[in-house]
Structure 1
Amino acid sequence: MDPVRRTLVRLLAAALCALAPLAGCSAPAPPVDAQVRRAVADWAAAPPQRLSGIPLEGWSYEVTSVRQEGARAYAHAELRYRLAGYDTAPAGSARELVLTRDGSRTAWRVTDERPSPGAPEQLWDQPDPVAVVRGAHSLVLGVRQSPQTLSEIAAEADRAVPAVSAAWPGPWARRVVVLVPASLDAMAALLGRPADTYRGMGAVTTGATGRGPAPADRVVVNPAGYAELSQAGRQIVLTHETTHVATRAATSARTPQWLSEGFADWAAYRDSAPAPAEAAPTLARAVRLGDLPPALPADEAFAFGGDQEAMARAYEGAWLACRLVAARWGDAALVRLYELAGREPLPAALDQALGTDLPGLTKAWQQTLREDLR
């Protein structure tokens, strides 16, 4: 708009105000987008009462879009927060906030908050209050669980952390957050996948595969599967999952699943040193029947919700591969292989860490299976 036209528009607006004093003439209301963002900021300053007891800090929302539908508005935002003393970087969650007008045309108020469509829930989205138990190296958040159950899980997590630190000397937080939802279905809601994916499992780590950057990992317990385990089994499961938390920074899309899962099992079994045939019964049966694996387990063999027996053989074979590396080349060589495999192609990592190649490692692993699982 040219300067002359802009001046005429301002004069016309002033004239209209002078002609209609009874109707009132004020500055235009801020855009709905700005009003909603201000209301969301106010909401962030006073998190809901249901979060009391959870050690939160840095609670904030980054609004990504605003939509108005009559007297309601919907804000999509990325929630950022930390669990004080446990998270080294903010956790994130995609959220949808519902707002209504607050008695005037310029004010909005948040009246509801929920996960964005398709996004996983947070533990506090579930109907029951969240109970909090602090351990020496752990924070356990549970819903509809007895204080004894949560305290036992905290004790098991406290034992897992130093065991993992002994196996993985690299830098990590040396503390772990464990979520214990009310049921298998509630667990699946936290992870955003069907419940059958996790049926029979004791626990998983957010990110599930143990790979990819996730600065605020959580170990999520399946209360049904966990309750079926022996005390030793629960300790192995928590140590395995805590290992994924510890190795996260060194894990990438390059890291083969047999190394990621095998290392976690190696760390979990490291102090107990079970007999291979006892800890790998499914693979042992296959080997005794002459079904020797032709190669180290492929990534797809570890996929949740697939053939359970094939997945068991994959996990057992991965553990025995890492056990072999530690026994033949040393614990430090296994750690170095893990670190290198997250940054370089596997052949280069094997050559630098072990002085061998993939066919050589595979042949040695197959020979170990024959000897240990006969």
Structure 2
Amino acid sequence: MLVTELLVGSALIATASVPPGAPPAPAVAVPTPAPLVVGDGRIVRLISLGGAGTDGLLTRIASATGDAVGAVERFWGTDWDHEIVVIAADSQAQFVAEAGLAPSGNWADIAAVSVADGVDFAHHHATGQRMVFAPGAAGMSAGSLRIVLTHELFHFAARADTALDAPRWLVEGVADFVARPPEPLPPDAAANTALPVDADLDVAGPQRERGYDRAWWFARFVADSYGVDALRRLYGQACGPGHGDFATAVQRALGADTAALRARWAQWLTR
């Protein structure tokens, strides 16, 4: 299975039931003998769905979880679930079923997802949260696996603060901002100075990869130009429960209109 190492996805859905026609996950999943404790007492439950590669993948995830939790807490704070569930699938069919993805979809370039069975926004609580890793994640480098883990952990942490109709591109861009170390923009970064849109993430392959990159660049641009606190405010205004339209969110969080924002974004891309 081909997994694009720095391309990850998150299923922004309130329920993650097994889709009709999807092969069921194994009836028995074997957790590690004892949960891992990281950070300020967060419990990490590592669950294998069987197979030869899952135990090794979970061992690598366990070694990177402390740093991932630290990165999420530095950006998002500590007010999120203290029990983290990580599941490693042995086959693509298991991954699709456990993650609640459409069996007919093209998920070959998705290394992991973060899903929940339900979200009670009024009480700021999500149930059945879990991060599910595809079998191809076992072949990722240590750095890329850390990025995927941190990206999905941000989705996990922000679940109760992320509306179901939030702009996916911004949700993914902020997750990548938390997870990915800064690096120089490619020479053609300024070829498209329009603001990102959700459709950029819908087509598997190079288009989706570039869509994730542009969403990440936008989050970096906001943090560079307005501050990290402003990026967090923008996420709340544009992606939180009861959010308004993007233009209103930009005005409230950044004190700018979208025309000025886009002009400044274009300048940032060509810096």
Q: TM-score scaled by structure 1?
A: 0.58
Aligned to 1:201: 110
Q: For the residues of structure 2 that align with 1:158 and 1:362, how far apart are their CA atoms?
A: 37
Q: For the residues of structure 2 that align with 1:285 and 1:307, how far apart are their CA atoms?
A: 23
Question: Greater CA radius of gyration, 1 or 2?
Answer: 1
1:218 maps onto 2:151 in alignment: no
1:299 maps onto 2:201 in alignment: no
Distance apart, 1:296 and its partner CA: 1.6
Aligned residues between the structures: 239
1:355 maps onto 2:255 in alignment: yes
Q: Deviations over 1:321-350 (max 9, x none)?
A: 111111121111111111111222221211
Aligned to 1:334: 231
Query: Against the structure 1 CA distance between its residues 275 and 192, is the aligned structure 2 distance closer, same or farther, given a 3 Å change threshold?
Result: closer
Of 69, 73, 84 in structure 2, the residue corresponding to residue 161 of structure 1 is 69
SS of the aligned residue for 2:270 comes to helix
Query: Against the structure 1 CA distance between its residues 150 and 328, is the aligned structure 2 distance closer, same or farther, given a 3 Å change threshold?
Result: same
Mapped contact 2:251–2:257 kept (Cα < 8 A): yes
Higher normalized contact order (CA 8 Å, seq sep 6+, divided by chain length): 2
Of 318, 336, 349 in structure 1, the residue corresponding to residue 215 of structure 2 is 318
Query: Against the structure 1 CA distance between its residues 147 and 335, is the aligned structure 2 distance closer, same or farther, given a 3 Å change threshold?
Result: same
% same residue:
31
1:131 maps onto 2:53 in alignment: no
| Residue ranges of structure 2 left out of the alignment (5+ in a row) | 1-13
Aligned to 1:251: 162
Q: For the residues of structure 1 that align with 2:104 and 2:61, how far apart are their CA atoms?
A: 22
Q: Deviations over 1:125-177 (max 9, x none)?
A: 41564233521131111122454432222222232112101111262114421
Q: For the residues of structure 2 that align with 1:250 and 1:307, how far apart are their CA atoms?
A: 27
SS of the aligned residue for 1:276 comes to coil
Distance apart, 1:294 and its partner CA: 4.1
Q: For the residues of structure 1 that align with 2:15 and 2:269, how far apart are their CA atoms?
A: 43
Aligned to 1:143: 49
Q: Deviations over 1:87-133 (max 9, x none)?
A: xxxx9776xxxxxxxxxxxxxxxxxxxx6x728677xx415642335
Query: Against the structure 1 CA distance between its residues 325 and 180, is the aligned structure 2 distance closer, same or farther, given a 3 Å change threshold?
Result: same
Distance apart, 1:254 and its partner CA: 4.7
Aligned to 1:230: 141
| Residue ranges of structure 1 left out of the alignment (5+ in a row) | 1-90, 95-114, 278-283
Query: Against the structure 1 CA distance between its residues 129 and 239, is the aligned structure 2 distance closer, same or farther, given a 3 Å change threshold?
Result: closer
Q: For the residues of structure 1 that align with 2:58 and 2:45, how far apart are their CA atoms?
A: 10
More strand by share: 1
Letter in 2 for 1:352: R
Query: Against the structure 1 CA distance between its residues 120 and 135, is the aligned structure 2 distance closer, same or farther, given a 3 Å change threshold?
Result: farther
Q: For the residues of structure 1 that align with 2:252 and 2:54, how far apart are their CA atoms?
A: 50
Q: For the residues of structure 1 that align with 2:235 and 2:250, how far apart are their CA atoms?
A: 9
1:188 maps onto 2:100 in alignment: no
RMSD: 2.7
Q: For the residues of structure 2 that align with 1:309 and 1:236, how far apart are their CA atoms?
A: 19
Q: Deviations over 1:225-278 (max 9, x none)?
A: x12221010000000001011111221145322210110000012xxx43233x
Query: Against the structure 1 CA distance between its residues 93 and 221, is the aligned structure 2 distance closer, same or farther, given a 3 Å change threshold?
Result: closer
Letter in 2 for 1:235: R
Q: For the residues of structure 2 that align with 1:179 and 1:358, how far apart are their CA atoms?
A: 40
